[in-house]
Amino acid sequence: MPHWVTEERFRVVRSTPLLLPTFSTNKGMTSISTFDITKEPLLDLLQDIKQGKIQLVDFQRSWCWDEERIERVIASVSLGFPVGAVMLLQQGNSDVKFKPRLVEGVALDQPPTPTALILDGQQRLTSLFMSLLSNQPVWIDQGKRYPPLQRWYYIDILKALDYPHTDRRDAIFGLTANRMLHRLGEAALNCSTPEKEFESGLFPVSQVFNFSQWRSQYCQYWNYDRQKLALIEQFEATVIKKFEHYQMGLFVLKSELPKEAVCYIFEENNKRQSELTHFDLLTSAFAASEFDLRQDWTQREQRLATHRVLRLLKATDFLQAIALMVNYQRRTEALNQGSDTDRLPAVVCNYQDVLRLDLSQYQRWVEPITQGFEAVARFLHTQAIFDADDLPYPMQLVVMVPLFVILGETLKLDWVRQRIEQWFYCGAASGIYSRSRQSTAAKDLIEIPQWLNGGEVPATIQEAELFAARLQNLVSSQGAAYRAITALLRRDGALDFLSGEPITAVRYFQQRIENHHIFSMEWCKQQKIPRWRYNSIVNKTPLTAKTNKFLGGKAPSAYLAKLEEQGMSRQRIDEILRSHLIEPTTLHNDDFDAFFEARTQALLSKMGRAMGKGLVGESLLENGNGNGFHPKIFTDYQAGR
């Protein structure tokens, strides 16, 4: 053990109740330290759990450990080994109210107000409480598909005393709810009565803190046989005393900690086990005011899910939109009151700001924000973005919602919608929302309304760039710029090669549309075209699965000829190809290099118009590496409208 950890430092006198030191309840922290370090007897800790003095924060996930982990923690305690410190949040701060719930296995008709909440160590404490003190079998969750297991845990006395030659974990195992265990090729274990426990030499872990009574019955059963007495005395000294004297390390967070600090601490200490969200914390905080945030969100989620583009919307996204709206309103009010520009409230939506939402703010904006999401869904539909998988950046969705609420009826003006489109495609093409999502969203929410009122062009538009090199290297359909370009092709009338139907109509009726190769991979490989070129978005376009199957691995000239054989005119074929920004002669001649250069320029032009910028690209001479067309950094960027 490290020299700085001493018994004196952690010594606890149980003559005073746990967690009774008094701290200042001022909103600002007056103490340098935000926590105390101490130790607590395991039995006292478990008894406080049983009495409801220590509970869980309601936002925590349910207990979920498996049998192996339970056996391991029991084994560690039986050896006196550390199992990790527990973190508790001291109660008493009226500004930090979380809805509590009892630890699994605790049954109280009228739970008391807890004195502390478990922030870290839930799985360990629940395992130990249920196995040692609950007087009921341990319930082990197996997921939705299977019923939970029920286990009584036992220690094989002889194997336990054989430590370290026998691993202590091998001496601990669970029996079923009827205290039976059937092992393949071995006699069944039966501990359904105390007498059968004595005969089997198995000690029930649930009697650890009631050992004197169990030992008395054990000795009576064996008629005080000297060998049995010696065995049980050795077991008591070696194993049982470890439980009785076990001290659990505690980090006790002071009650004066603000809510966002509690969130941060919980998140940092539970990254591997569970994912804490702003929604979970606010659900618990609002519950203290008798408001069921989870139920309210469930109803709104069902309402918004009728729009396929919102089907992946998260509760945290919804709360971020409300936080942006609240902070924008606060900033606007301060501005109207004449506050200095450098002292205006910030417009932010990080997790601390979401946690600062109070119930009145949520209730004020929840319906306008809900309607804002519906308005954004309609806007995205006009851009041929029909499904959540079509959306370049989910964060753009979050900032558009309060923006649409702010704009109100102004949004119905054509020139306003055109500028929103410009900002949307600049954000998608620039990649800025993949680098600093929250700060960019807040900045855009301030700058776009100012721009629409005659102010400067937002930085997201001014700084947006799309180089030919980047365009040609777009290969992942998950990328924002890739999705934006595909949406523009759909929006502006791309037609299916085989049926001639607009892709938007095909997608609306839920036929499968994906980006497929124009020059097939098989043909490109035969021509030894580099992989990055034939997998580029330049060589892909939205088509139905049926059409892609029709195209197969043929050369373009071959599948175009087949279309003519089926009765489609050459003029119609060329019209369909041009709807995808494809120069027809390059496909009829199977000229990949000419096709790649021409379509690169066409896609840049398409995206440039959407971004409100003049993008100029030029091809360079072949440099000998087989890449053919090489892009150049573009100039003449203008954000004019």
Range in 23-32, 298-307, 499-508, 580-589 the model is least confident about: 23-32
Give 16-47 as a 3 state SS string. CCCCCCCCCCCCCCCCCCCEEEEEEEHHHHHH
Q: Exposed/middle/buried for 149, CB within 10 Å: 0-12, 13-18, 19+?
A: middle
- Whether residue 21 is predicted with pLDDT greater than 90 in this model: the reply is no
Residue at token pair 């501990």 = 191
The alpha carbon of residue 261 and the mean position of all alpha carbons in its chain are separated, in whole angstroms, by: 20
- Whether residue 563 is predicted with pLDDT greater than 70 in this model: the reply is yes
Q: Which of 233-242, 384-393, 500-509 has the highest mean pLDDT?
A: 233-242
| pLDDT, position 15 | 36
Sequence-distant (6+) residues with CB within 8 A of 170 are: 159
**Mean pLDDT over residues 15-24, rounded?**
38
| pLDDT, position 270 | 58
| pLDDT, position 87 | 86
Range in 92-96, 133-137, 139-143, 493-497 the model is least confident about: 92-96
| pLDDT, position 24 | 38
Rg (CA), the chain: 34
**pLDDT tens profile 303-313:** 999 999 999 99
Range in 37-41, 137-141, 489-493, 509-513 the model is least confident about: 509-513
394, 604, 387: which is closest to 480 by C-alpha? Answer: 394
Mean pLDDT of the chain: 83
Bridge partners, 250 (sequence order): 38, 86
SS3 514: strand
Q: Which tokens in the block code for residue 191?
A: 């501990």
326 confidence band (pLDDT: 50, 70, 90): very high
| Residue with the larger pLDDT of the pair 440 and 133 | 133
| pLDDT, position 256 | 73
| pLDDT, position 441 | 87
**Mean pLDDT over residues 209-219, rounded?**
95
Percent of the chain with pLDDT over 70: 82
Render 150-214 in DSSP notation, one character per residue: EEEEEEEHHHHHTTTTS-GGGGEEEE-TTSEE--TTSPPEE-SSHHHHHHHTEEEGGGGGGHHHH
- Whether residue 528 is predicted with pLDDT greater than 70 in this model: the reply is yes
| pLDDT, position 337 | 79
552 confidence band (pLDDT: 50, 70, 90): confident
**Mean pLDDT over residues 628-637, rounded?**
27
Range in 245-259, 268-282, 334-348, 390-404 the model is least confident about: 268-282
- Whether residue 31 is predicted with pLDDT greater than 60 in this model: the reply is no
Render 304-315 in DSSP notation, one character per residue: HTTSGGGTT--H
Residue at token pair 């490989």 = 525
| Residue with the larger pLDDT of the pair 552 and 33 | 552
Gap between the Cα atoms of 59 and 276, Å rounded: 8
- Whether residue 271 is predicted with pLDDT greater than 60 in this model: the reply is no
| pLDDT, position 423 | 95
| pLDDT, position 280 | 77
| pLDDT, position 615 | 58
